[in-house]
Structure 1
Amino acid sequence: MERVLIVSANMGQGHNATGRALEDAIRRRWPDATVRWINALERLGPGFEGLFQRIYVANVESVPWLYEFFYAAIWRIPWFAAASRWFTASWCGRRLAKPVAEFAPDLVVSTYPMGTAGLAWLRRKGKLSVPIGAWVSDFAPHPFWVYGAADLTMVMHDVAVAPALRSSPSAHVGVSAPPVRAVFRPGDQTAARQELELPPDAFVPLVSCGSLGFGEIETTVRELLAADPSVVPVAICGRNDAVAARLRALDEPRLRVVGWTDRPELYTLAADVVVTNAGGATSLEALACGRPVLMHQPIAAHGKANARLMAAAGLALVSTKDGELAETVRGLLAEPERLKEMAEAVARHCETATPLEEALESLVSAPLNPPTQRLRPEDALFVHVATPEVPQQVGAVLVFDPKADGTPVTRADAEHLLAATPGLRTRLLPGSGLWRARWQEDPGRTSAEVLTSVRVGPDAPLDEALTREMDAFFSDPVSPEHPVRARLVTGIEGEQGALLIALHHAASDGIAVISALVGQTRGKEPLVPAAAPRRRGWGERVAGPLRAVLGRFARPGWHRLERPPGSADGSGAAEFARSKSGSGAGARGGAAEPVRGAGPRGGAAELARGVWALARAGAAPRVRWDKRIDSPRRHFARAHLSAPEVRKAARRAGVPTTNLVLALVAEALHRELGATAPEQLRVLIPMSVRDTGTFRQLGNHTGAASVDLPTGAMSLTERVRKTDRMLSGQVDRGAPRAGNAVVRVLGILPPALHRRAAKLVYRGTWFSVIASVLPGARSPVVLNGALVRTVYPVLSLAPGVPVAVGIMTWADRFTICITVPAGQEARGDRLAAAVVEAFGRL
Structure 2
Amino acid sequence: MRVNFVSRGHGYGHAARDLRIMAAMRRVNPGIQIRLASAGSGADYYRSRGVEAVDLGFEDADDMSEEASWRVWRFLYERADADLVVSDEFLTVPGFCRRVLDVPNVLITDWFFAELGRPDADSVMDDALEVVVPDFPEAHPVTPATTAPVWFCGPLVDAFAPQRAEARKALGLDEDALVLTVAAGGRPDRIAALRIQLQALRAWSGHAAPTDQLLLLADPPPTRGRVPATPNVRWVGRSDRPELYYRAADVVLADALGFTGCELVANGVPVIASVTPDPGREVRVGFAERMDMLERTGLLTRTHADEDPSALWDNVREMRARADDPAPRDFWADPLDVATRILGHARTG
TM score, norm. by length of structure 2: 0.70
- For the pair 1:119 / 2:105, whether they are aligned, the reply is no
Deviations 1:621-656 (A, max 9, x none): xxxxxxxxxxxxxxxxxxxxxxxxxxxxxxxxxxxx
1:111 and 1:269, CA in 2 relative to 1: closer, same or farther beyond 3 A? same
Deviations 1:670-694 (A, max 9, x none): xxxxxxxxxxxxxxxxxxxxxxxxx
Equivalent position of 1:166 in the other structure: 144
Equivalent position of 1:232 in the other structure: 213
Equivalent residue in structure 2 for 1:322, among 306, 319, 322: 306
Deviations 1:340-366 (A, max 9, x none): 5xx75x522x54322222211022236
Equivalent residue in structure 2 for 1:294, among 250, 264, 272: 272
Cα RMSD, aligned residues only: 4.2
Equivalent position of 1:110 in the other structure: 87
Query: Residue 139 of structure 2 contacts residue 286 of structure 2 at CA under 8 Å; is this kept in 1?
Result: no
Q: For residue 193 of structure 1, give the secondary structure of its aligned residue in structure 2.
A: helix
Equivalent position of 1:308 in the other structure: 288
Deviations 1:471-513 (A, max 9, x none): xxxxxxxxxxxxxxxxxxxxxxxxxxxxxxxxxxxxxxxxxxx
Equivalent position of 1:513 in the other structure: none
- For the pair 1:157 / 2:136, whether they are aligned, the reply is yes
Query: Residue 251 of structure 2 contacts residue 319 of structure 2 at CA under 8 Å; is this kept in 1?
Result: no
2:135 counterpart letter in structure 1: M
- For the pair 1:353 / 2:327, whether they are aligned, the reply is no
- For the pair 1:200 / 2:175, whether they are aligned, the reply is yes
How far the C-alpha of 1:187 sits from its partner, in A, is 4.8
1:21 and 1:347, CA in 2 relative to 1: closer, same or farther beyond 3 A? same
- For the pair 1:264 / 2:242, whether they are aligned, the reply is yes
Q: For residue 92 of structure 2, give the secondary structure of its aligned residue in structure 1.
A: helix
- For the pair 1:188 / 2:163, whether they are aligned, the reply is yes
1:96 and 1:141, CA in 2 relative to 1: closer, same or farther beyond 3 A? farther
How far the C-alpha of 1:152 sits from its partner, in A, is 3.5
Equivalent position of 2:52 in the other structure: none
Equivalent residue in structure 2 for 1:134, among 108, 111, 114: 108
In 1, the alpha carbon distance for the partners of 2:313 and 2:286 equals 20
Higher helix share: 1
Equivalent position of 1:273 in the other structure: 251
In 2, the alpha carbon distance for the partners of 1:97 and 1:335 equals 48
Equivalent position of 1:96 in the other structure: 73
Q: For residue 170 of structure 2, give the secondary structure of its aligned residue in structure 1.
A: helix
Alignment of structure 1 residues 387-402 onto 2, 5 Å: none
- For the pair 1:31 / 2:30, whether they are aligned, the reply is yes
Deviations 1:100-120 (A, max 9, x none): 4733222322222xx2x2233
2:342 counterpart letter in structure 1: L
How far the C-alpha of 1:174 sits from its partner, in A, is 1.8
In 1, the alpha carbon distance for the partners of 2:319 and 2:236 equals 29
In 2, the alpha carbon distance for the partners of 1:198 and 1:305 equals 40
Query: Residue 4 of structure 1 contacts residue 108 of structure 1 at CA under 8 Å; is this kept in 2?
Result: yes
How far the C-alpha of 1:161 sits from its partner, in A, is 3.7
Query: Residue 224 of structure 1 contacts residue 326 of structure 1 at CA under 8 Å; is this kept in 2?
Result: no
1:232 and 1:22, CA in 2 relative to 1: closer, same or farther beyond 3 A? same
Equivalent position of 2:51 in the other structure: none
Equivalent position of 1:363 in the other structure: 342
1:206 counterpart letter in structure 2: T
Equivalent position of 1:651 in the other structure: none
Equivalent position of 2:48 in the other structure: none
Q: Which has the larger radius of gyration?
A: 1
How far the C-alpha of 1:16 sits from its partner, in A, is 3.1
Deviations 1:397-431 (A, max 9, x none): xxxxxxxxxxxxxxxxxxxxxxxxxxxxxxxxxxx
Alignment of structure 1 residues 454-533 onto 2, 5 Å: none
Tell me how many residue pairs correspond in the alignment.
Answer: 312
Alignment of structure 1 residues 17-56 onto 2, 5 Å: 17-39=16-38, 49=58, 53=61
In 1, the alpha carbon distance for the partners of 2:186 and 2:75 equals 31
Query: Residue 111 of structure 1 contacts residue 136 of structure 1 at CA under 8 Å; is this kept in 2?
Result: no
1:305 and 1:209, CA in 2 relative to 1: closer, same or farther beyond 3 A? farther
In 1, the alpha carbon distance for the partners of 2:319 and 2:11 equals 36
2:292 counterpart letter in structure 1: A
1:324 and 1:186, CA in 2 relative to 1: closer, same or farther beyond 3 A? farther
Unmatched segments (≥5 aa) in structure 1:
42-46, 57-87, 369-842
In 1, the alpha carbon distance for the partners of 2:77 and 2:39 equals 11
How far the C-alpha of 1:28 sits from its partner, in A, is 3.6
Q: For residue 256 of structure 1, give the secondary structure of its aligned residue in structure 2.
A: strand
In 2, the alpha carbon distance for the partners of 1:128 and 1:284 equals 36
2:85 counterpart letter in structure 1: V
1:357 and 1:95, CA in 2 relative to 1: closer, same or farther beyond 3 A? same
Q: For residue 168 of structure 2, give the secondary structure of its aligned residue in structure 1.
A: helix
TM score, norm. by length of structure 1: 0.32
Deviations 1:736-755 (A, max 9, x none): xxxxxxxxxxxxxxxxxxxx
Query: Residue 186 of structure 1 contacts residue 289 of structure 1 at CA under 8 Å; is this kept in 2?
Result: no
Deviations 1:37-95 (A, max 9, x none): 23489xxxxx9945x72699xxxxxxxxxxxxxxxxxxxxxxxxxxxxxxx99x94997
In 1, the alpha carbon distance for the partners of 2:177 and 2:241 equals 21
In 2, the alpha carbon distance for the partners of 1:265 and 1:220 equals 19
Q: For residue 246 of structure 2, give the secondary structure of its aligned residue in structure 1.
A: helix
Equivalent residue in structure 1 for 2:200, among 217, 220, 230: 220
How far the C-alpha of 1:274 sits from its partner, in A, is 1.9
In 1, the alpha carbon distance for the partners of 2:149 and 2:332 equals 18
Equivalent residue in structure 2 for 1:175, among 153, 156, 161: 153
How far the C-alpha of 1:220 sits from its partner, in A, is 2.5
In 1, the alpha carbon distance for the partners of 2:184 and 2:319 equals 26
Deviations 1:189-233 (A, max 9, x none): 222223323233333221122453232224422224435548532
Q: For residue 18 of structure 1, give the secondary structure of its aligned residue in structure 2.
A: helix
2:215 counterpart letter in structure 1: V
Query: Residue 225 of structure 1 contacts residue 231 of structure 1 at CA under 8 Å; is this kept in 2?
Result: no
Query: Residue 139 of structure 2 contacts residue 290 of structure 2 at CA under 8 Å; is this kept in 1?
Result: no
1:355 and 1:281, CA in 2 relative to 1: closer, same or farther beyond 3 A? same
Query: Residue 132 of structure 2 contacts residue 151 of structure 2 at CA under 8 Å; is this kept in 1?
Result: yes
1:285 and 1:104, CA in 2 relative to 1: closer, same or farther beyond 3 A? farther
1:12 and 1:305, CA in 2 relative to 1: closer, same or farther beyond 3 A? farther
